[in-house]
Chains A and B, each alone.
Chain A
């Protein structure tokens, strides 16, 4: 049985996939790479056939990321499981380090690491993500925001038999939901060093961020219906839950504000309006911030186009 299984889900990105696979194989000595091809209709199958040492699983009907990851987990055999997106890169030796740390902490369910953010438009500028890494009982901190980069986490397979698989009904935040469920029952540890190069999403990269308002809506719903129903939240006093919700909505609203400004810059005003409305509903203070950034943007554009 291999120590760690890396589940790589991919959909129509054969040009990026080999790099991700190679990085996963180099990240540990006893690593099983499971590639889940989520109904790609291009040469992904061809590309994978030429790669050795991977377990290639093809899903005929698109299952979205959560469904594909579940299928990857079903086809994996390792003690520990890590996810990797097809456009991200694992750093060499990182999986061995994390697996060793996790096996020496039997009460921990998950270990994560830092990530280097790579902006595809600016080659060579890599930013360290997460300078302060919370560990131990991180349940409440995770409720406020998802600070664990999906590719930087390694968790025990046995956790899933207590808390269930990924939830397909919450597309886009299925990983966050899983981390929260793990943190509700296990401690979370961290190695304070980069383990992942994370490609920053841009609206053209086809990643989920174009629907920021939707994601926020789903996470707000989850917060009330599911996360606050978990044991640690039920045991806590109502004041604590209110406080956490306030911080969560503030984080979400500023995220939406950021996305709004970006959408305006990209010229998709419809998207910007949706995000702005969602931000206003969540946290009014962020809307002030939003308005400020928008006016600043208008001024600069007027300077550029004097007509």
Chain B
């Protein structure tokens, strides 16, 4: 949300196209307006707290030009904390590209707005970002593109992603709500023609693995949040995990880290 202070500041910057929306449109709506105002053949998104690495756009444009079939290109991201210091973690897609539809549906493919460049012509075939979704509109779009187009994975890091913390107030903070929504939205995405055409067994397997992954993520972050005294966040995560897949959430393995921390404190 742009405040009044930002308006004169950005309007004075050279070399950018500044659009001031008088009515808040949410993330998806604002990005759609940006797409409408852009004139290029390729689109990349950048959040206001993230950073693109020098030359990364050129590399991605070249990748898309060399492979006219591909719908989008994505690459590894470096992680940074709220102060902007690199944490040393790099999130990179494990898959080598091509058909990643099922990987994306299973949430096993880390495509983020920061790491992706989309061919604009794809949007005409699959539709713009869905404004009916308040979050996850990026995942929804990537799945819809991957349903029809192959995807390129490049190995050069493209950007620095500022990791949200339990208290940073970003949209990804209420993780329990976000991931529960993701679990629900996955059922909607199963209605895409390609998922529908697949055998029910395949869908069940993907669903099961995705739920396990969500539950593991929720528990891992809950356990991490406990030493930081973010108890509310941790509780929300644990309850969401129990709701989604109680069997997985009650597995003692998920709490190994917590045991370790507690033991360290005691010793």
Partners in one complex: yes
A residues contacting B by CB (< 8 A) are 57-61, 63, 67, 70-71, 73-75, 160-165, 167-169, 181, 184-185, 230-231
Does chain A have a CB within 8 A of B20? yes
User: Do the beta carbons of B32 and A70 come within 8 Å of each other?
Assistant: yes
5 example contacts (A-B, Cβ-Cβ < 8 A) are as follows A58-B124, A61-B192, A71-B123, A74-B128, A164-B21
B127 within 8 A of partner (CB): yes
In order of increasing CB-CB distance, the 7 nearest A-B pairs are A169-B132, A164-B25, A63-B127, A60-B125, A168-B131, A162-B22, A168-B132
Chain B, 175-214, CB within 8 A of any chain A CB: 192-193
- Most chain A C-beta atoms within 10 Å of own C-beta, residue among B123, B127, B148: B127
Residues of B within 8 A of A60 (CB): 125-126, 148
Among B5-54, those with CB < 8 Å from A are: 19-23, 25, 29-30, 32-33, 35-37
Q: Which chain A residue shows the least CB distance to B125? A: A60
A73 pairs with B36, CB closer than 8 A? yes
Q: Which of B20, B124, B148 has the largest count of A CB atoms less than 10 A from its CB? A: B124
**In the complex, what distance in Å separates the CA atom of A26 from the CA atom of B20?**
36
Query: B residues near A, CB below 8 A?
Result: 19-23, 25, 29-30, 32-33, 35-37, 123-128, 130-132, 144, 147-148, 192-193
Cα-based distance from A231 to B126 in the complex (angstroms): 34
Interface-centre pick from B32, B35, B126, B148 (highest chain A CB count, 10 A): B32
For the complex with contacts A61-B126, A74-B124, A75-B124, 15 further pairs of A-B residues with Cβ separation under 8 Å are A59-B126, A61-B125, A61-B144, A61-B192, A67-B130, A70-B127, A71-B127, A162-B21, A162-B22, A164-B21, A164-B32, A165-B36, A185-B22, A230-B23, A231-B22
Neighbour of A161 across the interface among B19, B29, B130, CB < 8 A: B19
How far, in whole Å, are A34 and B67 apart by their CA atoms in the complex?
28
Given A161-B36, A165-B29, A58–B22 Cβ distance below 8 Å?
no
Tell me whether A168 and B130 are in contact (CB under 8 A).
yes
Chain B residues, CB < 8 A from A75? 124
Q: Residue of A at shortest CB range from B38?
A: A74
B43 to chain A, nearest CB (A): 11
Q: Are A160 and B33 in contact (CB under 8 A)?
A: yes
Considering residues A161, A163, A181, which has the most beta carbons from chain B within 10 angstroms of its beta carbon?
Answer: A161
Q: Is the CB of A167 within 8 A of B131?
A: yes
Instruction: Select B128's contact among A57, A70, A181, A184, beta carbons within 8 Å.
Output: A70
B200 CB → nearest A CB, Å: 21
| Cβ of A187 to closest chain B Cβ, rounded Å | 15
- A74 and B22 contact, CB distance less than 8 A: no
Q: Is the CB of A167 within 8 A of B29?
A: yes
CB atoms of A57 and B131 under 8 A apart: no
Task: Looking at the assembled complex, report how far the CB atom of B206 sits from the nearest CB atom of chain A, in whole angstroms.
Answer: 19
CA distance A60 to B127 in the complex (A): 8
**Shortest Cβ gap from B2 to chain A (Å):** 12
Q: How far is the CA of A2 from the CA of B124 in the complex (A)?
A: 20
Q: Which residue of B lies closest to A68 (CB)?
A: B127
Contacts of A70 in B (CB 8 A): 32, 127-128
A162–B33 CA distance with the chains assembled, in angstroms: 9
For the complex, give the distance between the alpha carbons of A219 and B71 in Å: 36
Q: Within the assembled complex, what's the spacing in Å between the Cα atoms of A184 and B24? A: 13
How far apart sit A181 and B21, CA to CA, in the bound complex (Å)?
11
Residue pair A59, B127 in contact (C-beta under 8 Å): yes
CB A66 to nearest CB in B, in angstroms, measures: 8
- B residues within 8 A CB of A160? 33, 36
Residues from chain B with a CB closer than 8 A to the CB of A169 are 131-132
The distance in angstroms between the C-alpha atoms of A164 and B55, with both chains bound, is: 31
CB pair A71–B128 under 8 Å, yes or no, is yes
Say yes or no: B35 contacts A74, CB within 8 Å: yes
Q: CB-nearest residue of chain B relative to A74? A: B36
In the complex, the chain A residue whose C-beta lies closest to that of B148 is A60
User: A58–B126 Cα gap in the complex (Å)?
Assistant: 9
Nearest CB of chain A from residue B237's CB, rounded to whole Å:
28
Q: Once the chains bind, are A74 and B29 in contact (CB under 8 Å)? A: no
